[in-house]
């Protein structure tokens, strides 16, 4: 019997193949982690949007800090620690905190290099002047966006500008400029979710009109699956209100609704309230 | 070396958001009332009564149609343009008056169907009973349709008062007593089977408490010196509290009838020097009343069944005519706010008070509907004194009487399973 000769593998090639496989596995693992960390997979998150929200003013302010706890520390250091975060949550105006994108665009090294260059040239700008300049710039950065559901691109431009000149003192100055009662900190994911909610609220407002005199505690929860063409593939009452006219009014609204493009190809759980 | 690497990872991620949406406006739901078969006076009356009753709630928009027979689903679906619901009424013989079926016009499917029993002699009552069962099916609320109201009707520029009863919406008025003097504060007893009305009549000597059945057969209930008025009955009818001013100021007394001695016994509950009026008996036996004994300005109080543990639920102002709803556990009273008597609602469960009305009309003597969702009161704008019903569900007000007479002291009866015979 003739043995087929096995291909000879050089140890060098073998090493590279093993390295390739290892790197591939690491990439897959990394992708999974990113998927679960950054994807807005938070089915329990409930953000209440009332009709008042649609007319709210959104102020865009950058924060170099990543987590909320850090931001609160910054607020505390700026001498505004008397305010509780709860009072912040009650506000109608929203401050967008853009964290992940800013970190990518501004490597720390560049900022350090710039500072070094300045110190070499002997241009030691006093801290107060810096702060004043920054506050002026930050004021120009703030842009009122009305309504909330405007395109995200418009929001991104001023953020980028801030990022180029940002430092911890900038953040403090911005925080000092804005009255804390009017600030609500939301993450990027939350902002996206709010935009989606706002778009859906707008679409529903046109068709959702329950009969008068319904109890304010009533809720009818529906699961909707929207196709890529914007048509409702599935509508299922998950938790009925047990009030016949109310559930029928919900079904009637779903018959007439035109799904906003933000929801195309997605599955949404909607709680209809009176 | 064999390298076998199989990587098959198919990940399908469905983002699951939970979005809460609130309504910016409300809309009356369209309901079609279909009379099935040949048109008859009975079916016509039933359909019109149901239409008026459901329209009274302010939640529905109704229209009546005539259909020979429902054969196919698309027949029902053809009425979807009028609203998502259809009530089909069909006359029946025997112990049932009619059969009603509730359809979903979008799918053509039947949701619920019932027979309407023949209780009482009045055809209108059958329609009210049908509307009551329909509203319960639709909203899980009870309706006030099977109840009656009693009130005083004063003739302008004459010393003449009528005690009248009417349907919950002020329709089909029936005069029970006609007096050539003033009469005030008619109240229903709590007996559903044999309803009685107690009212106070002015005489040259005193204000006596009279009692009458719905046929107008009247008799004297109490005639002590001074005022005898505003009786209150417990839900089971076993207890009664009455206001008597024989000792000077008006005090509350518990009335009991001793079967052995065949005597009526009165036990004094309030022992103060103020005027104590408008009692209501709560389901736990506590008594709600109005008194000015503490501040010389009338306030609303609750005391236990023995007259102890008096607790004030109002905080100053001029508060009068309290009324308690056993169904909702709420108290309503009138309070003068910026010169006008406004209706206030006090929730016993959370001890919070809300001001229900704010328009420049005096609103007095409010009475709860048996379902606890409506308030009947006298609305006085100095020129006219009319009766109005305010819905706590829709916050809408309906004036149920005109301005040609002066209407006062309205009181809402319990819900009657069988319409009382008016003779």
Count of CB atoms within 10 A of residue A186's CB? 17
Whether B156 and B256 map to the same domain: the answer is yes
pLDDT of B241 strictly over 70: yes
Q: Is residue B77 in some structural domain? A: yes
Cα separation, B185 vs B409, in Å, equals 5
Q: Where are any strands of DSSP class E within chain A? A: 46-48, 58-60, 94-96, 185-186, 220-226, 232-239, 267-273
The whole-angstrom distance between A124's CA and the closest CA on chain B is 51
What is the C-alpha to C-alpha distance for residues A227 and A205, in angstroms, rounded to an integer? 21
pLDDT attached to residue A189 = 74
Give the alpha-carbon dihedral of B117, B237, B369, B219, to 10 degrees.
100
> Which chain A residues contact residue B134 at CB under 8 A?
none
Say whether residue B29 is in contact with chain A using an 8 A CB cutoff.
yes
Q: What is the CATH number of the domain that holds B125?
A: 3.40.50.10070
Distance from CA of B74 to the nearest CA of A (A): 18
Interface residue B354 vs chain A (CB under 8 A): no
**Would you state the pLDDT for residue B11?**
33
Does B300 map to a domain?
yes
Asked if the peptide bond before residue A147 counts as cis, ω within 30 degrees of 0, the response is yes
Contact B336, B324 (CB under 8 A): no
ipTM of the complex: 0.84
A-chain residues within 8 Å CB-CB of B107?
none
- Residue labelled with tokens 């897959």: A28
What residues contact B248, with CB distance under 8 A and at least 6 apart? B226, B273
| % of chain B surpassing 70 pLDDT | 95
Regarding whether B259 and B398 lie in a shared domain, the answer is yes
Residue B2 lies in a domain: no
Is B5 within a domain? no
Instruction: Give the CB-side neighbour count of residue A70, counting CA atoms within 13 A.
Output: 9
Spatial strand order of the sheet with B311-312 comes to B276-281, B287-291, B299-303, B311-312
Whether residue B391 lies within 8 A of chain A, CB to CB, comes out as yes
Residue B223 CA to residue B201 CA, distance in Å, equals 10
Determine which of A211, A221, A240, A253 to mutate to test the interface with B (most B C-beta atoms within 10 Å). Answer: A211
A213–B393 C-beta distance less than 8 A: yes
Contact A45 B18 (CB under 8 A): yes
A151 Cβ neighbours under 8 A, 6+ residues apart: none
B420 lies in some domain: no
For residue B402, what are the domain limits?
A: 147-415
Instruction: Tell whether B135 is within 8 A of chain A (Cβ).
Output: no
Tell whether B199 and B333 lie within a shared domain.
Answer: yes
B391 → chain A, closest CA residue? A213
Residues B126 and B206 reside in one and the same domain: no
Number of domains in chain B: 2
- DSSP letters, B337-377, are ETTEEEEEEEETTTTEEEE---SSSEEEEEEE-TTSSEEEE
Dihedral over Cα of A187, A192, A197, A199: its sign: positive
Which comes out higher in pLDDT, residue B4 or B317? B317
**Are the beta carbons of B23 and A210 separated by less than 8 Å?**
yes
Chain A nearest-CA residue for B5:
A21
Q: Are B269 and B306 in contact (CB under 8 A)?
A: yes
Calpha distance A13→A71 (Å, rounded)? 51
CB–CB contact A213 B24 (8 Å): no
CATH of the domain at B162: 2.120.10.30
Q: Please report the pLDDT score of residue A71 as a whole number.
A: 38
pLDDT over 90 at B53, yes or no = yes
Looking at per-residue pLDDT, the higher value among A10 and B110 belongs to B110
The model's pLDDT over B296-309, given as tens digits with 9 standing for 90+, comes to 899 999 999 888 89
Check whether residue B124 and residue B247 sit in a common domain.
Answer: no
Shortest alpha-carbon distance between residue B277 and chain A (Å): 33
pLDDT at B291 over 70: yes
The reported pLDDT for the residue numbered A150 is 42
pLDDT in tens, B342-377: 999 999 999 999 999 999 999 999 999 999 999 999
Looking at B105, B139, B173, the residue that finishes a domain is: B139
Each of the 274 residues of chain A gets a pLDDT tens digit; together they read 555 555 566 777 888 899 999 999 999 999 888 887 665 544 444 434 333 333 333 443 434 333 343 333 333 333 333 333 333 333 333 333 333 334 444 444 444 454 545 444 444 444 444 445 444 444 444 444 344 444 444 444 444 444 444 444 444 444 455 555 556 677 777 777 777 778 888 888 888 888 888 888 888 988 888 888 888 888 888 889 989 999 999 988 888 888 888 778 888 888 888 8
Q: Give the whole-angstrom CA distance, residue A68 versus residue A87.
A: 15
Q: Is residue B37 part of a domain?
A: yes
B positions 77-106 inside 8 Å of A (CB): 84-85, 104, 106
Which chain B residue's Cα is nearest to A270?
A: B19
Domain for residue B211, yes or no?
yes
């Amino acid at each position: 019997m003739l043995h087929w000769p096995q291909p000879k593998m050089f140890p060098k090639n073998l090493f590279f193949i093993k390295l390739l496989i290892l790197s591939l596995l690491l990439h897959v693992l990394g992708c999974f982690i990113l998927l679960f960390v950054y994807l807005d997979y938070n089915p329990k998150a409930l953000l209440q949007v009332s009709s008042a929200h649609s007319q709210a003013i959104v102020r865009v302010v950058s924060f170099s800090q990543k987590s909320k706890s850090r931001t609160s520390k910054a607020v505390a250091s700026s001498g505004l620690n008397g305010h509780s975060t709860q009072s912040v949550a009650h506000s109608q105006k929203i401050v967008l905190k853009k964290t992940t994108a800013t970190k990518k665009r501004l490597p720390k090294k560049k900022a350090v290099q710039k500072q070094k260059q300045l110190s070499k040239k002997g241009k030691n700008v006093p801290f107060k002047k810096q702060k004043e300049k920054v506050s002026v710039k930050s004021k120009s950065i703030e842009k009122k966006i009305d309504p909330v559901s405007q395109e995200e691109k418009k929001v991104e431009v001023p953020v980028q500008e801030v990022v180029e000149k940002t430092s911890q003192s900038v953040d403090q100055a911005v925080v000092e400029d804005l009255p804390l009662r009017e600030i609500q900190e939301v993450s990027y994911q939350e902002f996206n979710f709010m935009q989606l909610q706002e778009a859906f609220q707008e679409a529903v407002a046109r068709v959702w009109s329950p009969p008068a005199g319904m109890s304010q505690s009533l809720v009818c929860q529906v699961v909707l699956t929207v196709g890529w063409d914007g048509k409702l593939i599935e509508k299922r009452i998950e938790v009925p209100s047990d009030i016949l006219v109310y559930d029928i009014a919900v079904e009637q609204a779903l018959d007439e609704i035109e799904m906003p493009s933000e929801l195309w190809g997605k599955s949404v759980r909607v709680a209809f309230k009176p | 070396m064999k390298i076998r690497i199989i990587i098959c990872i198919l990940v399908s991620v469905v983002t699951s958001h939970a979005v809460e949406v609130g309504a910016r406006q409300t809309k009356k739901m369209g309901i079609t009332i279909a009379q099935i078969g040949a048109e008859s006076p009975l079916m016509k009356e039933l359909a019109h009564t149901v239409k008026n009753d459901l329209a009274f709630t302010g939640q529905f928009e109704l229209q009546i149609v005539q259909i020979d027979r429902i054969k196919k689903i698309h027949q029902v679906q053809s009425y979807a343009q009028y609203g998502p619901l259809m009530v089909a009424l069909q006359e029946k013989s025997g112990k049932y008056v009619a059969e009603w079926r509730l359809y979903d016009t979008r799918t053509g499917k039947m949701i619920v169907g019932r027979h309407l029993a023949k209780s009482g002699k009045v055809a209108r009552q059958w329609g009210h009973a049908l509307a009551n069962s329909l509203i319960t099916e639709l909203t899980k609320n009870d309706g006030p349709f099977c109840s009656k109201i009693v009130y005083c009707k004063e003739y302008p520029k004459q010393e003449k008062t009528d005690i009248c009863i009417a349907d919950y919406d002020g329709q089909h008025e029936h005069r029970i007593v006609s007096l050539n003097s003033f009469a005030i504060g008619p109240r229903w007893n709590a007996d559903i089977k044999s309803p009685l009305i107690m009212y106070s009549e002015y005489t040259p000597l005193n204000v006596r408490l009279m009692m009458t059945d719905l046929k107008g057969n009247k008799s004297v209930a109490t005639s002590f010196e001074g005022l005898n008025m505003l009786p209150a009955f417990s839900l089971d009818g076993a207890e009664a509290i009455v206001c008597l001013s024989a000792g000077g100021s008006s005090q509350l007394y518990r009335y009991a009838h001793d079967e052995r001695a065949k005597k009526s016994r009165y036990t004094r509950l309030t022992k103060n020097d103020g005027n104590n009026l408008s009692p209501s008996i709560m389901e736990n036996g506590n008594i709600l009343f109005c008194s000015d004994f503490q501040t010389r300005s009338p306030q609303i109080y609750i005391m236990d069944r023995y007259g102890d543990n008096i607790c004030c639920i109002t905080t100053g102002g001029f508060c009068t005519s309290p009324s308690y709803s056993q169904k909702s556990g709420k108290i309503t009273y009138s309070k003068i706010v910026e010169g006008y008597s406004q209706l206030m609602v006090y929730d016993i469960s959370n001890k919070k008070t809300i001001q229900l009305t704010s328009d420049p009309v005096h609103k007095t003597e409010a009475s709860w509907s048996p379902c606890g969702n409506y308030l009947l009161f006298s609305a006085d704008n100095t020129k006219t004194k009319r009766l109005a019903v305010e819905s706590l569900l829709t916050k809408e007000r309906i004036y149920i009487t005109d301005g040609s007479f002066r209407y006062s002291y309205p009181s809402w009866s319990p819900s009657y399973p069988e319409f009382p015979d008016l003779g």
